[in-house]
Amino acid sequence: MSRDPAEDGRTRRANDRRENRRAEILRAALEVFGRQGYHATSVADILDAAGIARGTFYLYFDGKSPIFLELLDSLLAELRASIVGVETDSASPPIEFQLVSTVRNILDTVVKNRLLARIIVREAVGLDSEAEQRLRAFYAALLRYIELSLVEGRRLGVIRKIDVEVAAMCVLGTIKQFVEQVVVAGEDATFDVDRMALAVLDFNLRGLLAVPSD
């Protein structure tokens, strides 16, 4: 059952090549999906971009929907990682700081993966229900996270008396709008993520009114 070292080396090299190939196809798919959207992209487009044959594609992926799902999952994973849990120990940084940090992280991730984010933000539905479900689950989780943060904030007295459900939705809305902005922008636009994160947070924390009557 055990293979000889020579074989192992060969196998490893083969596996490496396989992984490279896979990554190359993913990269190509990301590019065309990002440029044309999910529906306007045919498998042939991915083939051309990757420079592979029809059959080869199906050697690495089960189809158009699965490869898109994989791209979607990888972005959602990155986004999840960019959201740090709210720490309320006296030792942790203040919640406001944690929030701005999370907002910045999200925007950072989006800016870095603009191509992929574009697909996800702008084609939220009409994919297959699989992709739709995962996206919805992600947003639900994000909303829950924001709500929890707000509840904590209330408990600590930093957040005023407010309907946390409504407030969480508003916060999510402002973030999504900025993601959309990034995503809609041309390929070569640059963003001052720090400034943007601060501005969004400032709006969320202090609102519009000049003389807030609490």
11 binds DNA (CB under 7 A): yes
Contact of 134 with 202, CB cutoff 8 Å: no
> Which residue among 31, 35, 37, 65 contacts DNA (CB under 7 A)?
65
d(CA 92, CA 98): 9
| Distance in angstroms (rounded) separating the CA atoms of residues 21 and 180 | 31
Q: How far is the CB of 121 from DNA (least distance, A)?
A: 22
207 touches a second copy (CB under 8 A)? yes
Residue 126 binds DNA (CB under 7 A): no
Q: Which stretch binds a second copy (CB under 8 A): 14-22, 64-72, 102-110, 160-168?
A: 160-168
Nearest-5° Cα angle at 154, 84 to 156? 80
Rg (alpha carbons) of the chain, rounded to whole number: 22
For residue 21, the partner it binds in a second copy, DNA, none, with Cβ less than 5 to 8 A by kind, is: DNA
- Regarding 17 and contact with DNA (CB under 7 A), the answer is yes
Residues in contact with a second copy, shown as a per-residue x/- string from 162 to 201 under the rule CB under 8 A: xx--xx-xxxxxxxxxx--x--x-----------x--xx-
The yes or no reply on residue 27 touching DNA (CB under 7 A) is no
Instruction: Select the residue interacting with a second copy from 125, 130, 133, 144 (CB under 8 A).
Output: 125
Query: And the tokens for 7?
Result: 């074989």
For the chain, how many residues are written?
214
CA atoms of 121 and 157, how far apart (whole Å):
34
- Spell out the residues 6+ positions from residue 193 whose beta carbon is closer than 8 angstroms to its own: 104, 107, 108, 111
Residues binding a second copy (CB under 8 A): 37-40, 122-126, 136, 150, 153, 157-163, 166-167, 169-178, 181, 184, 196, 199-200, 202-212, 214
